[in-house]
Structures are given as structure tokens and as C-alpha cells.
């Protein structure tokens, strides 16, 4: 930190804006991590001092409170320990998160909306900002597809393990015979790319379509062809944006999303080359679910990659997915160490 503070104090730093932004970003991240560590250190010292006083006075109520706070601190420290392992090239970046309903009509579309709610609640509980980029509503209920931008420190690092197919088993609220249904939805997570990273896209290889936005929106929704869809023909990647007020703004946002998708694709290629035997995202496809959410005939949410599981399905669907994120990160780090 002292070295970075010395470098940022140099008056000639902003002669190279790109290098200056990179340096300032590194400094801000380090400052955030150091402050968090010091806060935990102070909390521990305060709790131990309080515990000694409570024991001296034999105050069982305060002792029980200290034990509870120490347990909460232990969880926070474990979270920080895992977060310190987020050392990927873009782990600290914001993230785009997409949810697409699988086949199955209204059932799958309702499941896609449930997943969106789960992720937005998780993000809000961790102080992340959520911005809607694109949303296509289902015919009866739910969503056919949705894209959100999750902004905050290490958003991509934490969420990247959520890419894959998610399976739901429940009694259908849309079936008058109350039969059990299985639904699928796919989740994709991509890093938001910093402007300093250059991704060269040949626009001749892209098809740009405009259409009328749908869903909730402002006064211009459904009145003009403001929504933009870009198809990158060499890879088949499709991105779309409709939340901005003008076609120009939607077009700019869509190009940024395409850059993110192409960059994420390149990152996956690098990972596959380095550790081909355990490409974490290779099983994204229908029938290759990464997690099952069973609400009937019993209650269980289980991650099929790490075997992390819980019977508290309501908490998970309300956004409490930290155990699965932590297990995925610990599993990947552990496997890399063993390799």
C-alpha cells in the first residue's frame, strides 16, 4: 500500500491515463481488503476483552452474546479467506448474469423468474448494485430470459461458478391436477470488461437487429424500435439490450456485453488449455445440471459438483446461496493445488 500510495502521488502518473486507472484500481482493491482485515481484527480484540469482563462478573447473558458474535465473525473470516483466493484476471470485476428458461413453457419460465429473484436477493444482501439490462416476459407468467448487471467488488469472482443448468422439482402451481413437474433453466455469468482491455470485434461478422422493447419500462417502451440485438456470427453469441431510453444507448450497451462475452469465452479457452481435465463450465447444457432444487416429495438443494446440500430450500430461494458459492470456490482452489 505504501508503494502504491507513493506511485499515485507522482504528478506525472496521469500522463498515461490507462496505466493510472489500472494503478488506482489496484490501490482501491488493496485498501478495501486491508480495511476489512483491520475491522475483523478489531472486532476480535473487542469481543475477547468483553468475554473476559463477562466471565469475571459471571454474566452468562453477555457470554452467550459474545459466543454468538464470535460465530458470526468466524463466518465472516472464512468468507474473507475464500475471497482472498479470488485471484483470477477479472474476478474483481462487475458481472453480467443471464437466466434463460428451458423447454417446458410456463413452468420453466416461472423457474427462470425464481432464479432471478434468488440472485437479486443475494446481491442486495451483499451490498451489490443490480441493474436490469434485458428482460423478455413469458406468455403466461415468469420470464423467457433476463440479463442483469451486478456491480460491486468481486461480483464476477463469486458468481462465476453459478454458470450452468439449474433443475427444479416441485408440485406445479400451474397444474390443476397438482402433479409434480421438473423444470430447467440455464444461468450464464460473464465479467464486465474494463475499457482498458481491448477486444477487437470485426463488425462485418456481426448482425445487428432492432426491435420494440417489451416488459415494464418508461413512456418510450413499445413505441419505437429502440431495443438492439447483436449476433456474433463466428461464435453464435447473441446479446440484447432494451432498458435504455434510446437505440443509441442500447446499441452501445449491447456492444459492451458482446465484448464481455467474447472476453469470457477467451478466458474459458485459457482455462481449458491449462486444466483440460476439469473445465468447470464444460457441462453447460440441457441434462447436465449443476444444481438440483427439490421441493417435492422432500426438500433438498444439492450442488452436484461439490455435494454441498441443505434442506432449507426457502432460505436458498430467498438468496442464501453463500454455502454453494464458497464450496465451489474452495473445491476449485483445492483441485488446482492437488494438480
Tell me the three cell numbers of residue 34: 486491508
pLDDT band at 23 (very low <50, low <70, confident <90, very high): confident
CA distance 191 to 263: 8
Task: State residue 336's pLDDT score.
Answer: 54
pLDDT band at 219 (very low <50, low <70, confident <90, very high): very low
- SS3 annotation, 10-54: CCCHHHCHHHHHHHHHHHHHHHHHHHHHHHHHHHHHHHHHHHHHH
Cis peptide preceding 297, ω within 30 of 0: yes
Over range 174-190, report the average pLDDT: 87
Q: What distance separates the 2 farthest-apart alpha carbons in the chain?
A: 77
Task: State residue 277's pLDDT score.
Answer: 36
DSSP state for residue 193 in the 8-state scheme:
P
User: Which of the two residues, 10 and 66, has the higher pLDDT score?
Assistant: 66
How much is the pTM? 0.71
Enumerate the H helices of the chain as residue ranges: 2-8, 17-56, 60-83, 106-125, 155-159, 247-274, 313-317, 322-338
Task: For residue range 285-315, list pLDDT tens digits in order.
Answer: 455 689 999 999 999 999 999 999 999 999 9
Q: Find the Cα–Cα–Cα–Cα dihedral 33, 38, 41, 43, rounded to 10°.
A: -100
What are the helix and strand counts (H, E) for the chain? 8, 11
Q: How far is CA 179 from CA 47, 142, 168, 297, in A?
A: 52, 19, 14, 11
Least confident of 83-87, 146-150, 211-215, 261-265: 211-215
| Closest among 113, 100, 245 to 163, alpha carbons compared | 100
- Share the mean pLDDT of the chain: 86
Over range 13-42, report the average pLDDT: 87
Domains of the chain: 2-83 (no CATH), 95-196+277-338 (3.30.70.1660), 203-272 (3.30.160.20)
Task: For residue range 104-118, list pLDDT tens digits in order.
Answer: 789 999 999 999 999
Over range 318-338, report the average pLDDT: 81
The yes-or-no verdict on residue 284 having pLDDT over 50 is no
Task: State residue 278's pLDDT score.
Answer: 37
pLDDT band at 224 (very low <50, low <70, confident <90, very high): low
Task: State residue 92's pLDDT score.
Answer: 85
Is residue 273 classed exposed, middle or buried when 0-12, 13-18 and 19+ CB atoms within 10 A define those classes? exposed
The yes-or-no verdict on residue 316 having pLDDT over 50 is yes
Task: For residue range 131-144, list pLDDT tens digits in order.
Answer: 999 999 988 889 99
User: Which of the two residues, 228 and 194, has the higher pLDDT score?
Assistant: 228
CA 123-129-74 angle, 5° bins = 45
CA distance 319 to 329: 18
Over range 119-128, report the average pLDDT: 95
| Closest among 260, 254, 261, 274 to 235, alpha carbons compared | 261
Task: For residue range 152-166, list pLDDT tens digits in order.
Answer: 989 999 999 999 999
Task: For residue range 69-111, list pLDDT tens digits in order.
Answer: 999 999 889 888 888 888 777 888 899 999 999 877 899 999 9
Amino acid at each position: 500500500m505504501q508503494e502504491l500510495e507513493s506511485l499515485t502521488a507522482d504528478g506525472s502518473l496521469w500522463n498515461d491515463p490507462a496505466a493510472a486507472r489500472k494503478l488506482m484500481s489496484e490501490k482501491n482493491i488493496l485498501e478495501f481488503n486491508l480495511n476489512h482485515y483491520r475491522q475483523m481484527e478489531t472486532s476480535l480484540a473487542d469481543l475477547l476483552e468483553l468475554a473476559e469482563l463477562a466471565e469475571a462478573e459471571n454474566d452468562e447473558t453477555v457470554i452467550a452474546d459474545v459466543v454468538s458474535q464470535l460465530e458470526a465473525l468466524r463466518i465472516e473470516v472464512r468468507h474473507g479467506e475464500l475471497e482472498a483466493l479470488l485471484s483470477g484476471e477479472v474476478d474483481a470485476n462487475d458481472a453480467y448474469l443471464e437466466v434463460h428458461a428451458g423447454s417446458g413453457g410456463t413452468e420453466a419460465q416461472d423457474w427462470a423468474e425464481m432464479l432471478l429473484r434468488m440472485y437479486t436477493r443475494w446481491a442486495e444482501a451483499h451490498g451489490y448494485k443490480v441493474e436490469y439490462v434485458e428482460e423478455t416476459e413469458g406468455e403466461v407468467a415468469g420470464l423467457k430470459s433476463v440479463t442483469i448487471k451486478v456491480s460491486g467488488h468481486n461480483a464476477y469472482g463469486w458468481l462465476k461458478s453459478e454458470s450452468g443448468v439449474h433443475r427444479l422439482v416441485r408440485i406445479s402451481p400451474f397444474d390443476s391436477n397438482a402433479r409434480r413437474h421438473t423444470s430447467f433453466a440455464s444461468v450464464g455469468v460473464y465479467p464486465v470488461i474494463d475499457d482498458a482491455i481491448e477486444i477487437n470485434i470485426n463488425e462485418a461478422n456481426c448482425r445487428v437487429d432492432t426491435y420494440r422493447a417489451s416488459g415494464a419500462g418508461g413512456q418510450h417502451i413499445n413505441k419505437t424500435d429502440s431495443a438492439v440485438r447483436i449476433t456474433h456470427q463466428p461464435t453464435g453469441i447473441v446479446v440484447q439490450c432494451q432498458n435504455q431510453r434510446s437505440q443509441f444507448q442500447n446499441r452501445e450497451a449491447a456492444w459492451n456485453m458482446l465484448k464481455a462475452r467474447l472476453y469470457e469465452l477467451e478466458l474459458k479457452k485459457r482455462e481449458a488449455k491449462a486444466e483440460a481435465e476439469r473445465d468447470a463450465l464444460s457441462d453447460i447444457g440441457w441434462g447436465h445440471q449443476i444444481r438440483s432444487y427439490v421441493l417435492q416429495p422432500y426438500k433438498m438443494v444439492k450442488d452436484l459438483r461439490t455435494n454441498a446440500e441443505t434442506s432449507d430450500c426457502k432460505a436458498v430461494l430467498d438468496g442464501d446461496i453463500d454455502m454453494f458459492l464458497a464450496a465451489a470456490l474452495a473445491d476449485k482452489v483445492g483441485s488446482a493445488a492437488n494438480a
